[in-house]
Structure 1
Amino acid sequence: MSKNSQSSTNSSSSIFSTESLDLKSILFRYLGIWPYILVFSLAGLLYGFINNRTTNPIYSIDSTILITESKSALGNDLFDPSALNQSRSNLQNEIGILRSFSLAEETVAGMNLNVAYFKEGFYRNTQLYGNVPILVSVDWKRPQLTGVFFKIKVIGTDSFELYLEKKSKSFFKSLNPFNNTRYERVEVNEGVFEFGELISMDNFELKIENIYASDQEEIVFKLFDNYSLANMYRGSVQIEPYGNSSTILSLRMSAVDRRLGEDYLNKLMETYLNRELREKNKASENTIRFIEQQLLGITDSLNFVEDKLEAYRTQNRIFNLSQEGSVAFARLQELEKEKSRIDINLKYYQNLQIYLNSDKISELIAPSVVGLTDPLLNALVANLSELQSDKVRLSANYAEQAPAMREIRNKIESTKRTLIENVNAAIRNTELALSEINSKVRLAEREIDALPETERKLLSIQRQFSINENIYIYLLEKRAEAQITTAANLPKNMILDKAKASYAPFAPQTSKNLMLGLLVGFFIPIGFTFLKDFFNDKIEDIKELEKKMVVPFIGAIGRYEGDSAIPVLTNPRSTVTESFRSLRADTAYLLPMQDKLTLLFTSCISGEGKTFTSINIASVYSLMGKKTILLGLDLRKPKIAEDFGMVNDIGVSTCLSSALSWREAVKNTGYDNFHVILSGPIPPNPAELLLQDRFKEMMAEIKAEYDVVILDCPPVGLVSETKQLFSHADLSFFVFRQGYSSKGNVDVLNNLVEKGGVSKIYGILNDVHVDKYKYGYGYGYGYGYGYGNNSYGYHDEEKISFKKKYSKKIKKFFQKF
């Protein structure tokens, strides 16, 4: 029968729905592993449940802060016309500062978080914060044992037992508790101690006070150095802007304790604003320090002149000036006041010049403090001070070569150059003004020289007193103004929303964890099976085998797990016997009205079941009353003798290599109409023997005498002589074995047909077992009716004990290795 005719015969079923059959095969494939799916799904569900029970609830804490854009006192584009993205850059800088380690370290240092307390539970430890049953005081001047859990058990109300939870582990021992740590195996002397007692050991020193802990209560605590705390909390905070054009930053962190998370986030923002305010107040503090330095000198001078004035008046009994002297003194006093102001301005410019040349930018004093109203100079000093503050803040989080640091250094240098030029010009102008006022003072002094000597001396002393008094009052006013400015300063940024924790924890997500565990457990065996099938190069599916073969597929032989190699004769009502009968019926359909026939069976490699198929198909014909003979042509690896329990003393090899007649080599199997010629002793030249003319003559005589001749040939994929034997057969069958034969074996068959010229050859799949996919193959004609182990009580199967059945499976499993 041609492949086309066979396909048309199957049209009623195979064309019915190819996709439906494939999907059904896949479905039944995975239904076959339902116990594993069930077990792994339950295991995944259990894992999700345990994860939910052992994980502390985690809350989300949110807050917002407004970042005010930095605007230069000189305008936006006077010194940096190319800084188009300055606002965005400033926002990123502020984010960097908020994420900086130094800010986190300063925050935790102000919160007293170096001791964490925990309450032991059955599933997990719960952190205690705020209202704790004990208070641990730590001497951080000494190295302390950090990163390890201490556990105490309260005994009564006055004492407790102290020990480490895990003694065999390496712990952090802080050499510098606020910076460096290293691993070291430590030994702790455990024992009973009194509350309030100083516990001093080589690895730590601490004191424990009882707040409200009760008898037999167990409490766990852990020491953290600020370095570790800062790293831990720094990594837990997420900072991002609300949008591309927004300068509002959202701060979010997760914490197991709602109050602890809120306190940390609030403290972080407070520390951030305080640091900014400290930098902002530096200018005012520098001003106050400058004024106080001036006041120290002027106070001494004022006191000296005041004492001198009183002494002169008393000695000379002169207390008031004449009208002419009063007018001259008033004129001179105004000039001296103006000269004092110019002197202060000149001294300010000179100090400013010194600070700029020595890079003491942080000590700059605003010009307005000394009464200078030059808008450009005030703007330059304010801008330079602000840039220096920004540089200090950025240096805590950025390296010197970072783009942000390079940018701000360039701005500082540009502003400083401009400021130095303005200061130099101001010094020249002030010196000219001072020279001019000195000339006016000298003219006024000539008028005073015309007065009487006593009045003239009094006027001179009173003049000195007035000058110092005016300067003293002026400096006091400026100091008060600077102090008011310092007190009134506010950070340019502001907190919009204080930290607020979510009402419910966002983790663990109990339903999600359970569902995820269930799904993972469900898909693990499915995925494993899929990968196993994907990388499996063995023939499993009949339909896949059909698609790959260029010849028709004629039938499938079910799995047989009995001991006998001839189930057709030993168990004629079994399902495997029925599959051989179906194969015989298909053969009759292929060769109608032919009384005598010769059938050839081969395979690609050894172990695929060609001998088993040959013996049983011969048995089926013998049961029909057909005179049948089985020829063992596999001269290299004979197996028929073993299956029949015969001695392989004579056979085909002896007939072809000696004068022995083939009739003398025929052996009776013990069953009616069934004879066999064994392979015989293994010859040195099996291929040459089968190619002799004598073999052709022997085959002609055997065909004439027997109704059915079955040829059990060697594997065609391993030896060459089988290709010459196809010409002796009316029909040839290529045997594959499910789960054993490689998919590449199909190419061997296809090459025989396409390149070797072999015709009238059909494919057979042996050892097909229903439990492979739990789906019965072969809806079409010739697919082996009733193969497998489930015949619904219609066939009589050989009873195999449980022990024997599974011992064979175990043996086969280890044979794979």
Structure 2
Amino acid sequence: MLDIKDFSIFETQTGFDFKGFLIKIGSYWKWFLLSLLVTFTIAYEVNIRKEKIYGMETLISVKEENNPFFTSNTSLVFNWGGTSDQVQTISTTLQSRSHNELVVDKLQYYIGYLAKGKYNIVDAYGAVPFYVNIDKKKGQIAGNLIGIKFLSENEYEIRIPFESNSVSIVSYSDNSYRKTAVAKGDFVKRYKVGEQVSLPFLNWKLQIKDNPGFYKGNEYFVQFNDFDTTVSAYKGIIVKADDKGGSIITLGMQGTNKARMVEYLNSTVKMLIKRQLDNKNQFATNTIEFIDSTLVSMESQLKATTNELKSFRQGKNILDIQGDGSKFSDKALEFDVKKDEVTRKITYYNSLKAYLKNSVDYSKLPAPTVAGIEDPNIVVNVSKLISLSTQRSEMAYAVKSDKIFRDFDNQMEAIKKVLLENIATAKASLEYDLAMVNSKINQTESSIKQLPEDQQELIKIKRKYDLSDNIYSTFLQKRSEANIVKAANLPDIHFIDPAKDIGGGLIGPKTSVNYVLALFLGLLIPLIFVFGVFFVNNSIQNTEDISKLTQLPLIGVTGLSKEGTNLAVFERPKSALSESFRAIRSSLQFLYKQQQLDGAKTLMITSSVSGEGKTFCALNIATVFALSEKKTVIIGLDLRKPKLFDEFKITNEVGVVNYLIKQNTLDEIINTTQIPYLDVIVSGPIPPNPAEMIMSDAMKELIEELKKKYDYIILDTPPVGLVSDALELAQYCDVTLYIVRQNFTKKEMITLLNNRVKRGELHNTSIILNGFQNKAKYGAGYGYGYGYGYGSTTYSNGYHEEDKPKSFLQTILKKYRKNHMQ
């Protein structure tokens, strides 16, 4: 039937022993040191193999440059907006895909020039003594490393390892890819410098740079990379506007090759200047194109009227208009020119109105001044519309926000509405002017009709000629003005500090980060290991563990023997270990005194399982009693696994078993030892029924007889956690010592001990912590010379001989013998 005491295991739930965990961590300092050594070594190896990272910068300014030839008649300047707008536009453009595509294509940065470094292959752009000219329309092997070894100054060898029977070919004219068949293995072929290489997978001409230096015998590599991937890498250019000066922009790049970054930073700014100037001249360019197309038709018209005038004069023999005809002719020409100006303005307005209603791209609009329109509202709004349209198209490749495009569209829609209203107002005024001019022309023509017919005909032809000549001259003048404006335009972007390699610029790699990570991992890995060991190891570590698990008194703490024998007290009576057993002797005498015992005293020594040091403690406790000149006998009652006889170099042929079966007398089984006052009774032959023999009356008789001859009787019994022999012997004992071994006895065994004590199976039980080491990994240290008193924490400090330091080999041998003998 189960007893309620059997469930007492639930009474001893313990929390996390943080102090013990910290001490455990300290005990494994060698593992932490080794782990840190390994992680820091790895970090060092990683750091020295990392390529150095450099940072390069260029400084530019944005200043709106006005055309020095700007007048009301030459308002052909394209404006990007205010300075702040330009800075934002420039920042966006520099990071746009379309802009970087132009720069990468111009510099051919999709061609990688590489060389062998100390640990890996590195970017050698600017350091290789050659460059390759490629035909963009022909295919180049994509991604593979092309080895180039210079056999002489004028001859080189190409080596390409093919891992399969086909490779990818890229044509940079349209960035298209295709496959081509190759022979698996290494392709090797020699070429002359400057010789055209024409292969299915490679088409180039290798040229040597000026001042190449010594390169004979050196080996380099060329690699053709994906165009779009290369562009994406350069889109990450750093663009920062100066907080103190809004018109100052800093461009920065980070990478492993300073020469490549310097050239790219300067080239991207030059490309930006070119594009900005082209856009700035767009108004003038549009105007020139419009004028050129007009001049073509006007030139043919002027030529026709010239021939007509020449023919008329020859046929009629009239060279010039005379008298009143000259006056009428001049008036007619004046009114014709006026009419042409008004008509051209109306025509421009009609064309502009249709363009605004039917088109969405306004970047190609010609300047209003080309038609003689000087209305500031028209000129400014057309300029704004072209500016917004151009900016929107520039941002299309870099900005993905629909809101920004909607803002542009809303602004352009508002300007369009204003322009349409301005056009309607201007056209109404021009139509009135046209009616007035037509009226005056009619009056003049009425006067001309009064002249002779020849004069009328000559005036008619000359009017056509003079009008065409006047218009042609006007357009020539405007074209000249537009060219002057275009040539005089200045870019708004200027270099302050072009990128330049002046040494330094090293910003990486961040070796400190790797070392910090090494420190973290070097501590974390063994910490996790210790944490696992701490939780997996459910054994007794220190006295605090015992005090948490049981109310039974702890009367002593013993260490490990540093000698090759279990008779530690006899071999070294002044050692710390001997002092700890003397302290236990004092505690036992106090226990006996409490029980008011007279005569012989009995002591049973047991434990949970084998290997916890029962025999070791029994021998040394018996020794300290014997050394105090008390007649002491130690009985080996572990009938299943006898081993007491080995310690005294005697045989196990005659012992307790022989007495219990009435084969030998008491005097015949008692053995004297080299230790005065100490006798020993071994177990004897292993019986088939050890438990029954211990329960026999003969055992009681044995104890009674021994009490007559000895002061102290010490029973070395089997483990109580494995067999019941010790429980049967408990009735003969005054005190029971339960041996707990540090880092060996499981905590659950203490709970079982509590149950046995509560059920009365063991009585007057005390605990000894055996095998204690004064090291951090075993818990709080008390030293070998500390013994606990019964029910108190009093202890005595041993006066003992100091151990001489031993060599490392001696220490290993001692530990080996010690672990195998206990």
TM range (shorter): 0.7 to 0.9
> Residue deviations 1:56-108, cap 9 Å, x none?
5443211223456999xxxxxxxxxxxxxx99897555433322233222112
- Normalising by structure 1, report the TM-score: 0.74
Paired residue for 1:8? none
- Measured after TM superposition, the shift of residue 459 of structure 1 is 0.9
Tell me whether 446-455 or 553-562 shows the greater mean CA deviation. Answer: 553-562
Partner amino acid, structure 2, of 1:335 = F
Paired residue for 1:253? 253
Q: Matches of residues 237-248 of structure 1 in structure 2 within 5 Å?
A: 237-243=237-243, 246-248=246-248
Specify the SS of the correspondent of 2:55: strand
Is the Cα contact below 8 Å between 1:240 and 1:250 reproduced in 2? yes
- Are 2:225 and 1:227 aligned? no
Paired residue for 1:536? 533
Partner amino acid, structure 1, of 2:483 = Q
Is the Cα contact below 8 Å between 1:337 and 1:470 reproduced in 2? yes
Q: Matches of residues 760-799 of structure 1 in structure 2 within 5 Å?
A: 761-762=766-767, 764-766=769-771, 768=773, 770=775, 777-778=782-783, 781-782=786-787, 792-793=803-804
Decide whether aligned partners of structure 1 residues 439 and 214 sit closer, same or farther in structure 2, where only a CA change above 3 A counts.
same
Paired residue for 2:69? none
Specify the SS of the correspondent of 1:265: helix
Specify the SS of the correspondent of 2:187: coil
Is the Cα contact below 8 Å between 1:149 and 1:220 reproduced in 2? no
Tell me whether 598-607 or 192-201 shows the greater mean CA deviation. Answer: 598-607
CA distance in 1, matches of 2:245, 2:208: 54
Paired residue for 2:455? 455
Paired residue for 2:397? 396
Specify the SS of the correspondent of 2:499: strand
Paired residue for 1:160? 156
Is the Cα contact below 8 Å between 1:101 and 1:230 reproduced in 2? yes
Q: 1:101 aligns with which of 97, 102, 106?
A: 97
Paired residue for 2:9? none
CA distance in 2, matches of 1:190, 1:118: 18
Decide whether aligned partners of structure 1 residues 570 and 703 sit closer, same or farther in structure 2, where only a CA change above 3 A counts.
closer
- Measured after TM superposition, the shift of residue 266 of structure 1 is 0.9
Partner amino acid, structure 2, of 1:379 = V
Specify the SS of the correspondent of 1:61: strand
Paired residue for 2:3? none
CA distance in 2, matches of 1:492, 1:758: 103
Decide whether aligned partners of structure 1 residues 808 and 315 sit closer, same or farther in structure 2, where only a CA change above 3 A counts.
farther
Is the Cα contact below 8 Å between 1:726 and 1:758 reproduced in 2? yes
CA distance in 1, matches of 2:624, 2:442: 148
CA distance in 2, matches of 1:126, 1:584: 74
- Measured after TM superposition, the shift of residue 464 of structure 1 is 0.9
Paired residue for 1:9? none
Q: Matches of residues 661-700 of structure 1 in structure 2 within 5 Å?
A: 672-675=678-681
Q: Matches of residues 577-656 of structure 1 in structure 2 within 5 Å?
A: 578=578, 581-582=581-582, 584-585=584-585, 587-588=587-588, 590-591=590-591, 593=593, 608-609=612-613, 613=617, 617=621, 621=625, 625-629=630-634
- Measured after TM superposition, the shift of residue 140 of structure 1 is 2.7
> Residue deviations 1:263-319, cap 9 Å, x none?
211111222232233333333222222222211111111111111112212222223
- Measured after TM superposition, the shift of residue 460 of structure 1 is 0.9
CA distance in 2, matches of 1:345, 1:58: 62
> Residue deviations 1:134-189, cap 9 Å, x none?
3333233222124333323333444333214x665999834344646699997552
Is the Cα contact below 8 Å between 2:286 and 2:364 reproduced in 1? yes
Paired residue for 1:198? 196
- Measured after TM superposition, the shift of residue 622 of structure 1 is 6.0
- Are 2:130 and 1:134 aligned? yes
- Normalising by structure 2, report the TM-score: 0.74
Specify the SS of the correspondent of 1:407: helix
CA distance in 2, matches of 1:94, 1:752: 88
Paired residue for 1:295? 295
Q: Matches of residues 45-124 of structure 1 in structure 2 within 5 Å?
A: 48=44, 51-52=47-48, 54-67=49-62, 94-120=90-116, 122=118
- Measured after TM superposition, the shift of residue 385 of structure 1 is 1.0
Specify the SS of the correspondent of 2:281: helix
Decide whether aligned partners of structure 1 residues 702 and 341 sit closer, same or farther in structure 2, where only a CA change above 3 A counts.
farther
Tell me whether 348-357 or 702-711 shows the greater mean CA deviation. Answer: 702-711
Specify the SS of the correspondent of 1:110: helix
Paired residue for 2:168? 173
- Measured after TM superposition, the shift of residue 335 of structure 1 is 1.8
Is the Cα contact below 8 Å between 1:41 and 1:522 reproduced in 2? no
Partner amino acid, structure 1, of 2:371 = V
Specify the SS of the correspondent of 1:189: strand
Is the Cα contact below 8 Å between 1:48 and 1:516 reproduced in 2? no
CA distance in 2, matches of 1:88, 1:586: 94
Q: Matches of residues 414-493 of structure 1 in structure 2 within 5 Å?
A: 414-493=414-493
Specify the SS of the correspondent of 1:319: coil
- Measured after TM superposition, the shift of residue 461 of structure 1 is 0.9
CA distance in 2, matches of 1:23, 1:451: 128
- Are 2:314 and 1:309 aligned? no
Partner amino acid, structure 2, of 1:110 = K
Paired residue for 1:36? 34
Partner amino acid, structure 2, of 1:175 = V
- Measured after TM superposition, the shift of residue 591 of structure 1 is 2.9
Partner amino acid, structure 2, of 1:673 = D
Decide whether aligned partners of structure 1 residues 481 and 44 sit closer, same or farther in structure 2, where only a CA change above 3 A counts.
same
Specify the SS of the correspondent of 2:399: coil
CA distance in 1, matches of 2:435, 2:361: 30
- Measured after TM superposition, the shift of residue 550 of structure 1 is 6.7
- Measured after TM superposition, the shift of residue 518 of structure 1 is 7.6
Tell me whether 24-33 or 279-288 shows the greater mean CA deviation. Answer: 24-33
Decide whether aligned partners of structure 1 residues 546 and 107 sit closer, same or farther in structure 2, where only a CA change above 3 A counts.
farther
CA distance in 1, matches of 2:487, 2:554: 99
Is the Cα contact below 8 Å between 1:143 and 1:173 reproduced in 2? no
Gaps of 5+ in 2: 1-17, 67-81, 789-794
Cα-Cα RMSD: 5.6
Partner amino acid, structure 1, of 2:187 = N
- Measured after TM superposition, the shift of residue 434 of structure 1 is 3.0
Paired residue for 2:5? none
CA distance in 2, matches of 1:702, 1:245: 110
Partner amino acid, structure 1, of 2:499 = A
CA distance in 2, matches of 1:492, 1:751: 95
Partner amino acid, structure 1, of 2:258 = R
Paired residue for 1:815? none
Specify the SS of the correspondent of 2:137: coil
CA distance in 1, matches of 2:179, 2:548: 64
- Measured after TM superposition, the shift of residue 390 of structure 1 is 1.0
CA distance in 1, matches of 2:631, 2:165: 85
Is the Cα contact below 8 Å between 1:606 and 1:715 reproduced in 2? no
Is the Cα contact below 8 Å between 1:650 and 1:681 reproduced in 2? no
- Measured after TM superposition, the shift of residue 193 of structure 1 is 3.0
> Residue deviations 1:568-603, cap 9 Å, x none?
499666969637624534534753746755556666
CA distance in 2, matches of 1:576, 1:679: 36
Specify the SS of the correspondent of 1:207: strand
CA distance in 2, matches of 1:396, 1:280: 20
Partner amino acid, structure 1, of 2:150 = V
CA distance in 2, matches of 1:709, 1:252: 88
CA distance in 2, matches of 1:525, 1:319: 110
Is the Cα contact below 8 Å between 1:261 and 1:501 reproduced in 2? no
Q: 2:146 aligns with which of 150, 157, 175?
A: 150
Gaps of 5+ in 1: 1-18, 72-85, 813-817
Paired residue for 1:284? 284
- Measured after TM superposition, the shift of residue 391 of structure 1 is 1.0
Partner amino acid, structure 1, of 2:804 = G
